[in-house]
């Protein structure tokens, strides 16, 4: 008996999410915060973690951490916070809960590939619509597609990954109003865009706001959260793995959220560097830079495969997205000033 005979055909047809080996590279492929924690903070965190009882299961509902998130992140009163093992976990939970036979998922695409992968996992039909050639949002086109396909679930990455584009708030509001089903605003880059739909939760019963601490500087601990009406969270909780957020993550997240200013200060430096890097990239001949409100840039070059390999030979790892929807596109994360200089020089060399 071989896997081909037993595994679902749609799973056989998938390619696993690819993570490139990065040892010894200038790592600009995964939107990580490049700055380490201050030495003093690291030592204090180590003390906190050393006192944990790892023989005990985690608290499955983590009320203190959820309350801390609600307070620090401006979650409106009356809304419920739910935690995930990264927001990837939350995408899986929400999609699974809504996966009735024949249900449709929609998103302005191209966008984060995990939405489509989860549609495949749980048997939803995924429909991408509503982005123009320059990856700006055509809300009217999206709403027409909504009318046609009647999606149970809509994901909007705000700002979008892998393009970095932040859609106009008024256009997104029109989409939320026009959607008959649940709309998830994925605000993974909130700290860089400084725009949010969190206050709109009070207005729209079909809205979920999803975030992660990954891009903020804690990608290693795997913590995502969403805010929604309690009625939604009650249902999502039924499909959540009971112990999805481990003891170490709960403690580290609590510790760091009490020192959120440390991470927000790093994010502010990244926002400044984003502008510097954007200017330097735009000055390179033969490079198109798409406008970004995140901590990365989508760029288009003449030959993305060749440029990607040439960067790699120079020790710089970026993400090659070359495909039909993103022809000759690379995605580069904003790093430290030094990393960004290395990137721009390597790119200049690679484009020769």
* Chain positions contacting ligand PLP, by CB under 6 A: 86-88, 112, 157, 161, 186, 188, 212, 214, 219, 224
Of 217 and 224, the one with the shorter C-beta distance to ligand PLP is: 224
Tell me the two tokens of residue 225. 């959260």
H or E element that contains 266: helix 260-282
Q: How far is the CB of 233 from ligand PLP (least distance, A)?
A: 18
Q: How far is the CB of 345 from ligand PLP (least distance, A)?
A: 27
Q: How far is the CB of 5 from ligand PLP (least distance, A)?
A: 33
Of 157 and 344, the one with the shorter C-beta distance to ligand PLP is: 157
CB neighbour list of residue 208: distance below 8 Å, 6 or more residues apart: 94, 182, 183, 184, 185, 226, 227, 228, 232
Of 176 and 219, the one with the shorter C-beta distance to ligand PLP is: 219
Tell me the two tokens of residue 49. 């973690």
Q: How far is the CB of 115 from ligand PLP (least distance, A)?
A: 8
Q: How far is the CB of 127 from ligand PLP (least distance, A)?
A: 18
* Phi and psi angles of residue 100, each rounded to the nearest 5 degrees, phi first: -70, 155
CA 246 to chain centre: 21
Question: Which residues does residue 332 pair with via DSSP β-bridges, in sequence order?
Answer: 297
Q: How far is the CB of 111 from ligand PLP (least distance, A)?
A: 7
Q: 95 near 124, Cβ under 8 Å?
A: yes
Q: How far is the CB of 263 from ligand PLP (least distance, A)?
A: 14
Q: Residue 75 has what DSSP assignment?
A: P
Q: How far is the CB of 17 from ligand PLP (least distance, A)?
A: 11
Q: How far is the CB of 210 from ligand PLP (least distance, A)?
A: 7
Of 249 and 342, the one with the shorter C-beta distance to ligand PLP is: 249
Q: Which CB contacts under 8 angstroms, 24+ apart, belong to 19-26?
A: 20/317, 22/317, 24/315, 25/312, 25/315, 25/316, 25/317, 26/315, 26/316, 26/317, 26/335, 26/339, 26/342, 26/343
Burial profile 159-173: b = 16 or more Cβ within 10 angstroms, e = fewer: bbbbbbbbbeeebbe
> 3-class DSSP state for residue 88?
helix
* Phi and psi angles of residue 12, each rounded to the nearest 5 degrees, phi first: -55, -35
Of 7 and 20, the one with the shorter C-beta distance to ligand PLP is: 20
Q: Which CB contacts under 8 angstroms, 24+ apart, belong to 275-279?
A: 276/337, 276/340, 277/332, 277/334, 277/340, 277/343, 277/344
Of 114 and 346, the one with the shorter C-beta distance to ligand PLP is: 114
Of 157 and 316, the one with the shorter C-beta distance to ligand PLP is: 157
Of 142 and 155, the one with the shorter C-beta distance to ligand PLP is: 155
* Phi and psi angles of residue 320, each rounded to the nearest 5 degrees, phi first: -90, 115
Of 6 and 19, the one with the shorter C-beta distance to ligand PLP is: 19
């Amino acid at each position: 008996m071989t896997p081909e005979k037993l595994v679902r055909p749609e799973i056989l047809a998938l390619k696993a999410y690819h993570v490139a080996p990065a040892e010894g590279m200038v790592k600009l492929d995964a939107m990580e915060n490049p700055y380490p924690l201050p030495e003093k903070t690291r030592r204090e965190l180590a003390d906190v973690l050393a006192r944990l009882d790892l023989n005990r299961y985690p608290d499955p509902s983590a009320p203190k951490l959820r309350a801390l998130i609600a307070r620090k992140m401006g979650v409106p009163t009356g809304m419920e916070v739910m935690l995930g093992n990264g927001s990837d976990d939350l995408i899986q939970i929400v999609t699974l809960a809504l996966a009735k036979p024949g249900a449709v998922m929609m998103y302005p695409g191209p966008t984060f590939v995990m939405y489509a992968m989860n549609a495949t996992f749980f048997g939803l039909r995924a429909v991408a619509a509503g982005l123009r050639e320059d990856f700006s949002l055509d809300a009217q086109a999206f709403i027409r597609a909504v009318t046609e396909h009647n999606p149970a679930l809509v994901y909007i990455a705000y700002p979008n990954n892998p393009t970095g584009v932040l859609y106009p708030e008024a256009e997104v509001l029109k989409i939320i109003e026009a959607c008959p089903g649940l709309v998830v605003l994925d605000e993974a880059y909130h700290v860089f865009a400084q725009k949010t739909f969190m206050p709109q939760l009070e207005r729209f019963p079909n809205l979920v706001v999803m975030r992660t601490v990954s891009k903020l500087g804690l990608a290693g601990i795997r913590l995502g959260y969403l805010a929604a009406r309690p009625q939604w969270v009650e249902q999502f909780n039924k499909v959540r793995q009971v112990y999805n957020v481990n003891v170490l993550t709960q403690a580290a997240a609590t510790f760091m959220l009490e020192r959120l200013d440390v991470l927000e200060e790093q994010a502010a430096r990244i926002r400044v560097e984003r502008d510097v890097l954007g200017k330097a990239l735009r000055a390179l001949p033969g490079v198109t830079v798409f406008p970004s409100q995140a901590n990365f840039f989508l760029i288009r070059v003449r030959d993305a495969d060749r440029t990607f390999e040439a960067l790699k030979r120079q020790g710089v790892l970026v993400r090659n997205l070359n495909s039909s929807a993103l022809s000759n596109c690379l995605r580069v994360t904003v790093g430290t000033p030094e990393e960004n200089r290395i990137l721009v020089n390597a790119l200049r060399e690679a484009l020769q």
